[in-house]
Structure 1
Amino acid sequence: MQAFRLAHAGVVLVQADHALLIDPGSFTTAEELSLALECAPPLAGLVITHEHADHWTPEHVAAIRNAAPECPIATTATTAASLAEAGIPGARIVAEGDAMDFGPFALEFYGGRHEVLHASIPVIDNVGVRVNGVFAYGGDSLVRPPFRADVLGVPIGSPWSNISQVMDFVLHTRARRVYLTHDAMLSPAGLNLFTARVRECLAETGGELFELPTASEVSGGRASLFDFGG
């Protein structure tokens, strides 16, 4: 299986000449999404972990459906309702413990709630997803997956977390390989500092940090899809 990333929280997985798109949110521009759809093979499915705009927008999902009208969508009940209100019906509602296949992608869903933003803000539903038993991405949650992930997305700079929580997440999950998500709100200096802390934790657990290429790098021929097997 191969992958490249979109800005902030999005990622595209590629397997057997099909693609799976996860969380194309508001930090991704229309141009970046267009590049991703051009350089990826046909879409087998779209996963949206929760309802917040940095993980999906009506405009982005409409563009995806225009490019791939039959593309199935898996998401939470609230997000499915919001999609329907935006004129995009038919999303499949998933929760912790559910499993389904989108083409060559075997999806297993885990976790059920978004991390607490503040006591004044209601906690919403959020689902993480494991793909083909290899790749895991928790959306806006630091819940420990019910498995040891081979490849795990770690949210490094979310407004609902601090670096101490992120470090504990890395230590507790003991993932074999890690890539960083949720970095759009960090300065380069802040990202370097937080990344160094993650590397320290991975050194304790025997894990490895790697970087996914961006859609623009892949589209422009400056980088190849990252291949992590599976």
Structure 2
Amino acid sequence: MSNLFYGLDSMKFRKLAYECAEQLKISHNFNKELKCAGPDWLKGFLKRNTNISVRKPESTSINRIEGCNRVEVELFSKNLEELMIKNNDAAHQIFNVDETGVSTVQKPGTILAKTGQKRVGTVTSWERGKTVTVVCAMSASGVYVPPMFIYPRQRHSPLLEKDGPPDNNNSHSTLEAYEFCKANYINMLSTPPHSSHRLQPLDITFFGPLKKAYNRECDLYFKSKNMIKITMYDMHMPNIQDKPD
């Protein structure tokens, strides 16, 4: 059931154990009023069956479940293989491009605090942050292009143009972008829709460490600036020069 994205929680599993025992006429001392096995039985079951454990599932949308299927993945793999053979591409010539969201409210890491203290907090800029889209591109050999930040704005501010391109972002794919790639011998291959959580290397291996590094820099910023809020204008991460670890 967990492989089908419909995993059972502890209570449902205990009720299932009761139903199985009743149907198979197995003698038991389960709770007949609640019609479920007890927590002690579940603890013993997990101890006997070490290949099963209680896990916290990752939220997965229906679009992602339907998009990441065998037919689509095999087609993508076939197209990628044909491109690599045709162009004889090396690792430093193959780039993964993907986007992620970075918030002005960082996710705090763990801190040291007194044992038994009821409330442990850390400073953040806002109650609710604003999200900026970050587009990254990295090759299999480790070469990466400096990230591009796309700011959500209805009213344009010249402050957002600093050290950036003058043009606005319109969409993921445009005729101009296609013609540029064609003129510069760049082949584009997209992963199947809603499958980046399984097929996109940046999504799987890079964005997590990147956000941890960003959160760490935000914490250091607050410790040195003393209650100065982080805005979208401060999010270009000028102090992060090394790769996220």
Q: After TM superposition, is the score higher than 0.5?
A: no
Q: Return the index of the structure with the highest Cα Rg.
A: 2
The structure with the largest helix share of the pair is 2
TM-score (norm 1): 0.25
TM-score (norm 2): 0.24
